[in-house]
Amino acid sequence: MQKKVWIALALFLILPGLLFTVSCAKKTVKTDEAAMTAPEETATQVQQEQTQQEEMASKQQADMEKQRALEAEKLAMQEAQRQAMLARQQFESENIYFEFDSSALLTPAQDTLSRKAQYLRENPNIRLIIEGHCDERGTDEYNLALGDRRANSAKSFLVDLGISPSRLTTISYGEERPLDPRHNEEAWAKNRRCEFVIE
């Protein structure tokens, strides 16, 4: 029994020495050991890297999304601007027309003016110049007065629809600025008009 103890003791003492020797002599083992432990470390690193990458990716994605959103916003803005411009162009291009020697507002003219009032309500900062024009028939001075009456008819109608008169200016051009320079009914009909110019 005593013998067994001694062996056990010896083993207990030697083995670590052996172990120590081995560990000293064979660094590779330790390397191995290190190698053994390495996968664990790598995994963590990888994981970290992955996380980082993921984070970066998600950040990039976020950035991109932000960018995209921005671009979309920009596009939307551009589109809105385009729409506004179109609306403005539409607004400005839509004339109203009159009968010969008359400043009475015809039904289509009233419809057009109602749309213009709507636009003016939606764009409260806009100021408007209403130009009154006549066809070439008749005489200069009377046509200046008639153009003035036409512009004022349009103005009164807009004021009745709630547009502040302080936003509306009139100017008569009489027969001085025809849209269509020809001398026929078709041209005259086009020239008896009010034009609307945003200030």
Q: Which is nearer to other proteins, 17 or 181 (CB)?
A: 181
Query: How many C-beta neighbours within 10 Å does residue 152 have?
Result: 18
In angstroms, the CA 145 to CA 173 distance is: 9
CB of 103 to other proteins, least distance (A): 9
Vertex 99, ends 94 and 103: CA angle to 5°?
80
Shorter beta-carbon distance to other proteins: residue 66 or 137:
137
Binding site for other proteins (CB under 8 A): 101, 137-142, 144-149, 152, 169-174, 176
Instruction: Give min distance, CB of 169 to other proteins, in A.
Output: 8
Which residue in this structure is represented by tokens 């921005």?
70
Q: Which residue, 145 or 187, has its beta carbon nearer to other proteins?
A: 145
Best CA proximity match to 119, nearest among 158, 148, 146: 158
Least separation in angstroms between residue 186's CB and other proteins is 15
Closest CA to 192 of 112, 101, 129: 101
Nearer to other proteins, 126 or 171 (CB): 171
Kindly state the smallest distance separating residue 102's Cβ from other proteins, in Å: 10
The helix (run of H) or strand (run of E) holding residue 130 is: strand 128-133
